[in-house]
Every structure is written in C-alpha cells, then in structure tokens.
Structure 1
Amino acid sequence: MKPEDIRDMSAAEIEARLNELKEEQFKLRFSSSMMEVENNALIGQVRRDIARIKTVLRERELAQNT
C-alpha cells in the first residue's frame, strides 16, 4: 500500500484498514510460531503497512494542530 493511497482515504477507512492489518499481523505471528507460514516476508510487509498508516495519521494530527 502506497502512502498516496492512504492519504486519499477518509479517517474512518484508515482506522478500519489499520484494524484489519493488526488482526492480520496477529494471525501471521501466531501461524509463524506454529511453523505454518509459507511466506515470512508477508509479516514484514504487514508491519510496514501498519507503520505507513500510523505515519499518515500522525501527519494529519500535526496538520490540524498548526
């Protein structure tokens, strides 16, 4: 997911996507501990998507305060 795509989303859509990614991350971590994950790179990709979303949320928060 690209930052431009995230910036085009509404706040509600971003929060929903963030919750989905956190749930997916939990499932992947659990599966990884059980040796059921075929693609370990997916865990890192989800983590980076979460970071991108949190960055955009923080940008919006700072823009409102100025």
Structure 2
Amino acid sequence: MKAQELKDKTPEQLNEQLVSLKKEAFNLRFQQATGQLESTARMRSVRRDVARVKTVLNQKAADAASSK
C-alpha cells in the first residue's frame, strides 16, 4: 500500500481501512501464538500499513484544522 493511494481516500474510507488492518493484525498475532503463522513478514507489513493510515489521517486532520 502506498501513501499516495491513501491520500486520495476520504477520512471515512481511511477509518474503515484502519479497522480492517487492525483486525488482520489481531488475527496474525493469534496465528503466531498458536504456531499457525506461515508468513511472519506479513505482520511487519500490516503494522507499517497501520502506521501509514494513521499518519495520513493525522495529516488530513491537521490540514482541516489549519484551513479554518
């Protein structure tokens, strides 16, 4: 997922994306705890995607606050 793709989305879409990524992260942690996780690299990419989404949301909030 690229940051530019996220910047084109609305805050509502970003929040939905954030919820789905957090659910995926939970499921991956659960799989790791039970020994069923095959791709540990996916955990890292999901964590980074969550950070990207949060960053873009914060940037949009700052832009909205500064434009008032």
Give runs of aligned pairs for residues 1-66 of structure 1, distance below 5 A.
Answer: 1-66=1-66
* TM-score under structure 1 length normalisation: 0.96
* TM-score under structure 2 length normalisation: 0.93
Show structure 2 runs of 5+ residues with no match: none
**Moved segments of 4+, more than 4 Å:** none
What RMSD over aligned residues (CA atoms) do the two structures have, in Å?
Answer: 0.6
- Alpha-carbon separation, structure 2, partners of 1:62 and 1:11: 12
Show structure 1 runs of 5+ residues with no match: none
- Alpha-carbon separation, structure 2, partners of 1:28 and 1:45: 11
Sequence identity of aligned pairs in percent? 35
Residues matched between the structures, number:
66
